[in-house]
Homo-oligomer: A and B are copies of this chain.
Amino acid sequence: MKFAKIPMATINRLSIYMRTLQDLLEEDEDVISSELLAKRCGVNPAQIRKDLAYFGEFGVRGVGYRVNELTNQIKEILGLNRPWNLAMVGLGNLGSALIRHANFAKHGYIFRAAFDMDQQKVGKVLPNGIAINHVDELEEIVKEREIHMGIIATPASAAQAVANQMVLGGINGILNFAPVQIQVPDCCHVENMDFTIKLDAIAYHLSFGS
């Protein structure tokens, strides 16, 4: 399955639809109207139809979407019908909080390795059972444990070197919490999570309206 030129915004909304559908499953809902699903996702029903139309026909006219079916279809579209192995680099306050966060495992993202450059932290075992390795071992361990994605939660000054090691280890997807733009080859996809950039967007809206 390969779909050309799907807008990134569509991919992000599909995740939101899937999360909302998973909540509905937990609420034992079998079927949901496109209006109600749209409302819970904070979009309009036409947007959902348009986003799904890239990938085929979904939903039943006059009925809506079958919750379980559409959940599984979106999982397949996004490549989430399988687990993904993660490595965390940087076990400061933020990295330590993230690696403890239940939301990763819930969605199939499993931490398999953790790295820091602080010798005081190396060897410590985290609550999820993973021992912290020195960042010098990153490339080797990432290959051994078949890590697919890396999370960078280091200071800005260390982020580029870490990204380089990740790429050498074969990681092609990076979630970057460090407040710096990292450069990677085209084969690698980076998503940035600099929260002050989101605050800047809020500041702009508060200052000048939206």
Contact = CB atoms under 8 A, between A and B. Distances in A.
Chain A binding surface, main DSSP class: helix
A79 interface: yes
Quick one: copies of this chain in the complex? 2
Interface residues of A, number: 65
Interface string A168-201: 0000111100011101000001010111111111
A178 to B, nearest CB: 9
A45 to B, nearest CB: 15
A110 B102 CA distance: 28
Given A1-B208, A206-B149, A78 B181 contact: no
Contact of A181 (B42, B80, B174, B206): B42
Interface of A: 1-3, 8, 11-12, 14-16, 18-20, 23, 40-42, 77-80, 84, 86, 92-94, 96-98, 100-101, 103-104, 106-107, 109, 148-149, 172-175, 179-181, 183, 189, 191, 193-210
